[in-house]
């Protein structure tokens, strides 16, 4: 599996392109503000055909350019719980996001739930519902490759915030415990912010400081 990443927008959000091999299908993950040109170049360089855009959760910085790809006929996949933020992306914290302009909404083509699976070529991801940072946060785990797209659940040196509207510290603690229990310690994580490719074992001590 190949995971290409870039960092964009007012809060340095990670956007990923995931694929098995050049010339095949790919998944665009969390299209952040200003990521369009980088994603397009990555697709062209590796001759990739987007299967879908998957948003790890519905916060504005992770979905702001979903409409760019929806307008090209690429389906948008989202986790259950944050669908309304896909319909009407809203920066609920203007001080954090710098009062960005209104963002066109999209209609998700697929709503994913806990235990669902999807495939990108020969890659198969299993979805874990991990609410807390937002109600619709999900982790996508490829057990065979030992890779997980973890959104804003856990970072290389921390965890996602729980002081936003609809966040839940209690749910966050349960989600962290679940992921730390179910994902093997050498699983490499690809979070929504900060460095990627560190292992669960590397990230766990930092996460435990907040638990």
Q: Please enumerate in sequence order all residues whose Cβ is within 8 A of that of 102, keeping only pairs 6 or more positions apart, or say none.
A: none
pLDDT tens, residue order, the chain (211 aa): 999 999 999 899 999 999 999 999 999 999 999 999 999 999 999 999 999 999 999 999 999 999 999 999 999 999 999 999 999 987 777 777 777 777 899 999 999 999 999 999 999 999 999 999 999 999 999 999 999 999 999 999 999 999 998 999 999 999 999 999 999 999 999 999 999 999 999 999 999 999 8
47: left (phi over 0), alpha (psi -120 to 50) or beta: left
The number of folded domains in the chain is 1
Range of the domain at 178: 2-208
* 131: CATH: 3.60.15.10
Q: Are 15 and 5 in contact (CB under 8 A)?
A: yes
Q: How far apart are CA 89 and CA 122, in angstroms?
A: 32
Q: How far apart are CA 104 and CA 80, in angstroms?
A: 20
- Cα dihedral across residues 133, 72, 140, 113: positive or negative: positive
Cα Dmax for the chain? 43
The single residue listed with the structure tokens 């959000």 is 13
**Pairing between strand 188-191 and 147-151?**
parallel
> 161: which 2 tokens?
């915030």
**Pairing between strand 49-55 and 123-129?**
unpaired
- Residue 79's pLDDT is 95
Looking at the DSSP bridge assignments, the partners of residue 123 are: 120
- Residue 186's pLDDT is 98
Give the residue from 86, 84, 24 showing the smallest Cα distance to 54.
Answer: 86
Q: How far apart are CA 107 and CA 73, in angstroms?
A: 12
- Residue 142's pLDDT is 98
**Length of the chain measured in residues:** 211
> 179: which 2 tokens?
């992921």
- Residue 92's pLDDT is 74
> 165: which 2 tokens?
């509207």
- Residue 91's pLDDT is 77
- Residue 42's pLDDT is 98
């Amino acid at each position: 599996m190949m995971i290409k990443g870039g960092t964009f927008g007012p809060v340095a959000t990670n956007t990923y392109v995931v694929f098995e091999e050049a010339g095949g299908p790919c998944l665009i993950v969390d299209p952040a503000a200003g990521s369009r040109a980088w994603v397009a170049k990555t697709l062209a360089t590796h001759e990739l055909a987007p299967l879908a855009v998957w948003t790890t959760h519905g916060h504005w910085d992770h979905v702001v350019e979903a409409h760019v790809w929806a307008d090209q006929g690429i389906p948008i996949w989202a986790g259950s719980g944050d669908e309304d933020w896909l319909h009407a992306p809203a920066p609920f914290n203007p001080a954090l996001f710098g009062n960005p302009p209104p963002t066109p909404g999209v209609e998700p083509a697929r709503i994913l739930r806990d235990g669902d699976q999807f495939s990108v070529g020969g890659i198969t991801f299993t979805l874990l519902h991990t609410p807390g940072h937002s109600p619709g946060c999900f982790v996508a785990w490829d057990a065979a490759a030992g890779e997980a797209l973890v959104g804003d659940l856990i970072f290389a040196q921390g965890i996602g915030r729980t002081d936003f509207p609809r966040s839940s510290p209690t749910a966050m603690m349960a989600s962290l415990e679940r992921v730390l229990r179910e994902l093997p310690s050498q699983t490499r994580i690809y979070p929504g912010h900060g460095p990627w490719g560190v292992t669960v074992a590397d990230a766990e001590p930092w996460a435990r400081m907040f638990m």
